[in-house]
Structure 1
């Protein structure tokens, strides 16, 4: 462990994790977290990961001004096999404990997901890290977000994000791969988790990262400002490939590939505004290439390839007239061979500008037409060339 440029006023500490000669040896999420905690105590710095496969049982939590840097795609963070148990006593809002039927597969340091059948998706799940296991009682570090009922399918699982950054600024993640091990883990929603998950974050960058086979969204960022996702490859996730949402402002999403994901390649969630989405490849995603809707306004989509997706290349979700995806700019995109239509537009979105896009079927017979406009979508186009 050493300080780079020790004579400089603004010094950057660098530590290593992974191999036997590193500062924090061990191919585990615990070793990585110890390294992160060290640079956090110094006000930020760089954690460099050796090549190898790291077993991740709980989310690696990043803090302000921390960079997590792998050695390329051979640095793999792999989610360990999942475990779940119903809970036997209601888990109430604000609690830091839950009593489960079987705690044998849970350990301190694991990620934790709590839900019931009525409160399972969106913001209704709760996530935390287990701090102790006392008999069949799990104790954890974040207050529950809802009242969960044991007689309504109440469940505790160790599904979690692989990398998580909440209430942070100037976080960087680069040059590594994430293996979500989806066949051995429970699904988890993209509002609370992802292969990489940011919430209430600003001025952060994710670059040259591979996310594959996560049982949820590949990369999700919620309630953020100035997030950059660059040169990433997201494929085989059961949710969306990329998921900006909940008022995320001024995102830069460029030169990424999203292939074979279970919902949208790029899911533009509520109130995503003034973003730049350029030169991305969105291909063979099950639901749509791009899904956009509630107050998702003033974004720029340029030079993307949107090919072979289900339910339309670009899908505008239905909204009322005051909450549409308005004033977005669509420039020089290739939108081809998607199921149904190139643009499938429900009512509510207005004043979108389209210029120099190539919208076509190349002979597959999948894309029946350029546009489908629902009743009430007459004001969708402000300009088309």
Structure 2
């Protein structure tokens, strides 16, 4: 091949690359493939969907509200909400519009994939029945799909329940969530097998406890403009690893927008091993436990522009929550901590939040000495306003354990009460490298307590 022909081909390839690059420069993926700019509905392709002007929708109306008789489904129970959601899911996705009214649940509403649950703001309220608890009257083995109760009390077929006991072998807690699907007297069939031994030696009980909204192994769901009320005064506590106003397990790409979750005797919003969850413009308040609980292993949560008030803790980063962002939240009068972060919660950003009147500590970096490196490393705490934290010895930011590689930058820490023995930032004796930069302090007895230098 002559040099002139070779050079010409190189030139043409170069020109072609420039032309294509010019056309697609702003529309390519990181790996170089062209971006999808005008998708078509293609069988089996669930990644891209055209932006349709109208999608399938079912309205749910309350039987006691005027004008609701024309809704597609009329009722005020979990059954009518579940029927609507299952119907739009069968059509491949769509919207369930919940008209104003109070909907009283005897079981959790289970969210299928690719649905939108759209309420009417403060006028659409999902709440639950008071909880009841009764002991089991007979042993049930792990392979059984039924239980027998000492007395049936108010339990009905269709109820959501939590079975709780001590493991007869090692004494650990057993929690099983099921639905009662058939009965003969005090003997009930369950929606699924037990897979745990519920022996009378473990003092097993059955309780009418369940999340209001829940799902497992689903994706691409949007919840908007709806109010969840947990009826907390009439319900036992239900641990946030199993329940809450909202409880998700192993789900992807959920968005909660303009949702109120209140008065749950447990967490307001809890998601476990769930990825790319967005919680924005929500109000989680007056829950007995956590306002927002990004649970174990959850990757890339986005928690922004929310109000988190009067819970035990505002935001609780659980175990192994990574690459998340919490910003522009108002976190007020939570009984213990405004924000708590700990066990392997790394590479997160906590930015531009307002954290006021926390009962114990504004922001806590938890200690966890059970492993080689279980601390909340490589996190950024930036631009937050933290005011009036804890009691007489309260601390705005408390860094404990062997936490390291944390940056605390540009935060405004204030005390408007008497100084007493209150501290702005406290760093524990075993803490590693911490960057402190451009933080401002006002009204503290001690701006910085660094126990590493003691």
Same fold, TM-score > 0.5, yes or no: yes
Q: How far is 1:256 from its partner?
A: 0.7
Q: Which residue of 2 aligns with 1:375?
A: 429
Q: Which has the higher contact order (CA 8 A, sep 6+)?
A: 1
Does structure 1 residue 348 correspond to structure 2 residue 397? Answer: no
The CA distance in 1 between the partners of 2:421 and 2:60, in whole Å, is 49
Selected match of 1:17 from 56, 60, 71: 60
Q: How far is 1:239 from its partner?
A: 1.1
The CA distance in 2 between the partners of 1:205 and 1:145, in whole Å, is 32
Point out the more displaced range, 129-138 or 53-62: 129-138
With the length of structure 1 as denominator, give the TM-score of the two structures.
Answer: 0.92
Selected match of 2:205 from 151, 155, 160: 155
Q: How far is 1:78 from its partner?
A: 1.1
Q: Which residue of 2 aligns with 1:27?
A: 76
Q: How far is 1:154 from its partner?
A: 1.7
The CA distance in 1 between the partners of 2:195 and 2:434, in whole Å, is 41
Does structure 1 residue 111 correspond to structure 2 residue 160? Answer: yes
Cα pair 2:161 2:210 within 8 Å, conserved = yes
1:231-284 C-alpha deviation (Å, 9 max, x unpaired): 1101111111110111000011001111111x2111110011000100111111
Selected match of 2:315 from 235, 259, 266: 266
Point out the more displaced range, 270-279 or 130-139: 130-139
Does structure 1 residue 65 correspond to structure 2 residue 123? Answer: no
Selected match of 1:334 from 385, 389, 413: 385
Q: Which residue of 2 aligns with 1:222?
A: 272
SS of structure 1 residue aligned to 2:121: coil
Which stretches of structure 1, 4 residues or longer, exceed 6 Å deviation after superposition? 8-11
Q: How far is 1:142 from its partner?
A: 3.5
Q: Structure 1: any 5+ residue segments left out of the alignment?
A: 1-7
Cα pair 1:336 1:367 within 8 Å, conserved = no
Instruction: Give the 3 Å change call, closer, same or farther, for CA 157–367 of structure 1 in structure 2.
Output: farther
1:132-179 C-alpha deviation (Å, 9 max, x unpaired): 222212222244364344333321101100001211110111101011
Cα pair 1:69 1:174 within 8 Å, conserved = yes
Q: Structure 2: any 5+ residue segments left out of the alignment?
A: 1-49, 62-67, 439-454
How many residues get paired?
375
With the length of structure 2 as denominator, give the TM-score of the two structures.
Answer: 0.78
Point out the more displaced range, 210-219 or 338-347: 338-347
1:28-52 C-alpha deviation (Å, 9 max, x unpaired): 1111111011111111111000011
Cα pair 2:342 2:365 within 8 Å, conserved = yes
